[in-house]
């Protein structure tokens, strides 16, 4: 008795396009900052490198980044329990901390200028502005992503059974916080 093999057609594995895009942005950003920090090390080794103190505002921005990571994680925890008002509050707190981070960066740059550290000058100065400025732009992009999530939360499109967008936003936001912590200590230790 011959057995008949049934051919079942399997659907190709797919990934959500927004999830793919988020991870693509994260990978590209890792490559960008890895190349910048590598170039920083190589250029510093060539000499003619000005050492300067990093303003305190940049250390404060590390604390703000950590706090914002905590608040967005709190939003995820509240969303899993379907506590939508708490989720919204945590998202607004995260956005507020994002604004505070941007202000701290701006004040840090003002302190640099007050100490005669400018974008155009010694390569160490230029690298500092480029690295911190590119991270600043990533934060602004993260805040736009966060605003989209806040709007979705008010439209009841973010809740216990629909949390992909919030989770992706939180992943990106955690990445930004971790990146700033890394960059700050990299710049501090490699002056």
Show pLDDT as tens, one digit a residue, over the chain (191 residues): 455 555 556 667 788 898 999 999 999 999 999 999 999 999 999 988 889 999 999 999 999 999 999 999 999 999 999 999 999 999 999 999 999 999 999 999 999 999 999 998 899 999 999 999 999 999 999 999 999 999 999 998 988 888 899 999 999 999 999 999 999 999 999 98
Q: What is the pLDDT of residue 108?
A: 97
Each as own residue / partner, the long-range contacts of residues 134-141 (CB below 8 Å, 24 or more positions apart, any chain) are 134/32, 134/33, 134/36, 135/33, 135/176, 135/179, 135/180, 135/183, 136/102, 136/105, 138/29, 138/176, 138/179, 139/98, 139/101, 139/102, 139/105, 139/176, 139/180, 140/102
Judge residue 90's burial from the number of C-beta atoms within 10 Å of its C-beta, 0-12 exposed, 13-18 middle, 19 or more buried.
buried
User: Between helices 164-189 and 17-45, what is the axis angle to 10°?
Assistant: 0
Q: What is the pLDDT of residue 191?
A: 84
69 Cβ partners below 8 Å, 6+ apart? 173, 174, 177, 178
Contact 33, 175 (CB under 8 A): no
3-state secondary structure (DSSP) of residue 162: strand
Q: What are the angstrom distances between the C-alpha of 140 and each of 48, 106, 164? A: 33, 13, 21
Q: What is the pLDDT of residue 4?
A: 53
Contact 191, 54 (CB under 8 A): yes
Q: What is the pLDDT of residue 8?
A: 58
Q: What is the pLDDT of residue 15?
A: 84
Q: Distance (Å, rounded) from C-alpha 98 to C-alpha 142? A: 8
Q: What is the pLDDT of residue 68?
A: 98
């Amino acid at each position: 008795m011959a057995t008949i093999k049934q051919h079942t057609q399997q659907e190709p594995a797919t990934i959500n396009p927004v999830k793919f895009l988020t991870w693509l942005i994260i990978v590209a950003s890792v490559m960008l900052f890895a190349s910048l920090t590598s170039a920083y090390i190589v250029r510093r080794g060539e000499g003619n490198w000005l050492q300067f103190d990093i303003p305190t505002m940049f250390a404060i921005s590390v604390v703000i980044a950590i706090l914002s990571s905590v608040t967005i994680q709190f939003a995820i925890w509240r969303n899993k329990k379907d506590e939508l008002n708490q989720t919204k509050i945590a998202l607004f707190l995260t956005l507020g901390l994002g604004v505070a981070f941007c202000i701290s960066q701006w004040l840090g740059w003002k302190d640099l200028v007050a100490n005669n550290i400018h974008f155009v000058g010694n390569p160490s100065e230029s690298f500092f502005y480029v690295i911190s400025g590119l991270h600043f732009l990533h934060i602004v992009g993260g805040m736009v992503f966060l605003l989209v999530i806040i709007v979705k939360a008010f439209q009841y499109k973010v809740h216990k059974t629909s949390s992909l967008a919030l989770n992706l936003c939180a992943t990106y936001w955690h990445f930004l916080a971790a990146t700033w912590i890394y960059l700050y200590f990299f710049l501090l230790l490699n002056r």
